[in-house]
Chain A
Amino acid sequence: MSELTPSCGSGACGCGQSAAVATAGIDENEELAAALVRGGEQLQSSRRAFMTQLATAAGTAAVAASGCSTSVSWEQFTQKHYKELTAEDKRKLIERVEKRARDQYGVEVEVSDPQPTPGVEFAYALNLSYCIGCRRCEYACAQENNTSRDPEMHYIRVLQIEKGTMSLEGSDSYYEGSVPAPDKYYMPVQCHQCDNPPCVRACPVTATWKEKDGVVVIDYDWCIGCRYCEAACPYWARRFNFAEPKLRPSDINPKQSLLSNRIRPMGVVEKCTFCLHRTREGRYPACLEVCPTGSRKFGNLLDPNSEVRKIIDTKRIYVFKEELGTIPRFYYFFD
């Protein structure tokens, strides 16, 4: 395997980015990007072109730095978009991901690629009357999804909010100590898997899309780290790896999948996927299982007997930022 070891900042790494950059408006970038992604069949070349353009015309130092990994393998560089992968490509990719875990962390991992099941559309419901803000979900999620421990990355944010208000003004996600605090309630926020996802629209290279079961996924090999999706998300659910993720080997969950919890490289965006590596195999998400109050409910929206459907049919539902028209698959309810 040939390794390209670029010296970042010189533009010699082959990633098409240069450190000498002019600054241009984000809007210009978006126009450029829109033009580039026209004709989805040419995903690969458009992404390259976008990266080149981004660097020469409109990049910023931050983007240039984050887009370059210190060591990019040839396969990685010529990687096709997830949707274009043949079975053989996928097998090779999985092998490579498993090898990387072995080389980098000395851990044997098992990477799968579970697909949506026809007739299944996921939804999540969270009981705001019962959540006590203990953050068990936040940490169980990090563990399940192999998110970086240093810098620390959590997909779930728990907001502590004044009782009797629905306003996030003055909400706090850095509270400590004993919970629930008097006169407070708690609102965990994670990716809402919107049916009308602003993040997907914002991506200039279609590295993120919505799957048939409702989960919004990211192709970590395709993501260029521009962070438009992060900015576009009204639920602040996306996270960017601005440094190489650090995990101790003992932290690593070896049950991984391509589109969810495999160990990410630096420079890509990630987020909650409803634990698709678990849920597509029929299991509940990790955050749900760990909740001591039973506030978290998950299931198939198309099954009238599922917990989530019964909740939507019988309880008082609150859709966060409903007015934005994002159509989330994550519902809050009161009991």
Chain B
Amino acid sequence: MGQALQQLVVALLLLSACRAPDHEAMTSHADATLARVGANDAPPTIPPRTPQIALFPCVEQCHKDRTPDPHKRELKEFHSLKHLEHGDTTFWCNFCHNDDNLDTLRLLDGRTVSFNEAYRLCGECHGDKRRDWQAGIHGLQSGYWDGSHEKVRRSCTACHDPHAPRRPTFQALPAPTLRLKQEVQGHE
């Protein structure tokens, strides 16, 4: 009984591991025989984030002479960033930023990644979204759907502010001026 459960858990873990493909591993076994016109096999380009980050490189611009303080506190000195609106109350800068080299991010197991690969960090806690993103279902892919030319996939932080990832509001563009006949008559 207990053993069966354990096996089930192992099986599920294995299954979920299979469902988390990295680009390299994006394969389609069963469907390989089907017509593949316009198959988007080539990995999309992910535009680098660092050119978009005004304060990058962080060490050179600000952190050369500062020792990082890992304690959660109100940030008085710095930027617009006063507190985090992400995750739970335990969240702090060093969950993501690498205190040993602030030009990089740190994954949960201690490995470092560039800001350009922040999606790997996000994916550690948001595996489902990362998978959908990898599949092109979450986030935005633009360019060429058929793989004939470059396809571009936005990194997570192009849409989500990592410090307050909640969906921002937008101004709607103006309402259309033309009334449709059907609307005047009411919807069927």
Contacts and interface: CB of A to CB of B under 8 A. Distances in A.
Co-complex (A, B): yes
Contact of A294 (B138, B143, B148, B175): B138
Interface stretch (B7-15, B52-60, B177-185): B177-185
Contacts of B144: 282-284
Contact of A133 (B40, B154, B172, B176): B172
A157 B182 CA distance: 12
B171 A178 contact: yes
Interface string A281-315: 01110001101111001111011111100110011
Contacts of B34: 302-304
27 contacts: A117-B37, A118-B37, A120-B37, A132-B169, A134-B171, A151-B177, A154-B176, A168-B187, A173-B183, A174-B175, A177-B172, A179-B172, A236-B182, A282-B145, A282-B148, A292-B170, A293-B167, A299-B145, A300-B38, A304-B31, A305-B31, A305-B36, A305-B40, A307-B141, A311-B137, A314-B137, A335-B138
Given A157-B176, A169-B187, A236-B182, A282 B38 contact: yes
Main SS class of interface, A: loop
A284 B28 contact: no
A228 B90 CA distance: 62
Looking at A178, A299, A305, which has the most chain B CB atoms within 10 Å of its CB? Answer: A305
A169 B188 CA distance: 9
Given A152-B178, A300-B37, A304-B31, A294 B169 contact: no
A114 interface: no
Contacts of A302: 34-35, 37
Interface in B131-188: 132, 135-149, 154, 159, 167, 169-178, 180-183, 187-188
A136 B172 CA distance: 8
Contact of A303 (B39, B159, B172): B39
Contacts of A293: 140, 159, 167
Given A279-B145, A294-B141, A310-B135, 4 more contacts: A138-B176, A157-B176, A283-B145, A307-B136
A288 B37 CA distance: 21
B41 interface: yes
Contact of B177 (A132, A152, A298): A152
A310 B26 CA distance: 13
Contact of A307 (B41, B135, B147, B177): B135
A218 B103 CA distance: 55
Contact of A134 (B28, B136, B142, B172): B172
Which of the four size classes fits the interface of chain B? 35 or more
B142 A178 contact: no
Contacts, number: 145
A305 B39 CA distance: 6
A175 interface: yes
Contacts of A119: 35, 37-38
Interface residues of A, number: 56
Interface string A17-56: 0000000000000000000000000000000000000000
A230 interface: yes
A283 B38 CA distance: 11
B38 A299 contact: yes
A143 to B, nearest CB: 12
Contacts of A305: 28, 31, 36, 39-41
Contacts of A294: 138-141, 154, 159
Given A119-B37, A284-B141, A297-B136, A178 B178 contact: no
A96 B182 CA distance: 35
A52 B137 CA distance: 51
A139 to B, nearest CB: 5
Nearest to B132: A335
B169 A283 contact: no
B141 A135 contact: no
A120 B146 CA distance: 10
Contacts of B139: 294
A282 B142 contact: no
A175 B143 contact: no
A89 to B, nearest CB: 29
Contacts of A120: 37-38, 146
